[in-house]
Amino acid sequence: MRALPILIATASLAAASPAPVAAQAFMFESGTSLLAKCRNKAPEYALACTAYIVGVVDGIRKDSFIGRGRPICWPDKMSADDARRTVVAYLERWPDQRRGPASVLVSVALNERYPCQK
Using CA atoms, how far residue 4 sits from 14, 50, 99, in Å, is 15, 60, 49
Render pLDDT for 11-49 as a digit per residue (tens, 0 to 9). Answer: 333 344 333 334 455 668 999 999 999 999 999 999 999
Residue 104 — very low, low, confident or very high, per pLDDT cuts 50/70/90?
A: very high
The phi-psi region of residue 62 (left if phi > 0; otherwise alpha if psi is between -120 and 50; otherwise beta) is: alpha
Predicted TM-score (pTM) of the model is: 0.76
First to last CA, the chain: 74
Predicted pLDDT at 3: 44
Render pLDDT for 56-100 as a digit per residue (tens, 0 to 9). Answer: 999 999 999 999 988 899 999 999 999 999 999 999 999 999 999
CB 56 within 8 A of CB 103: yes
CB 101 within 8 A of CB 30: yes
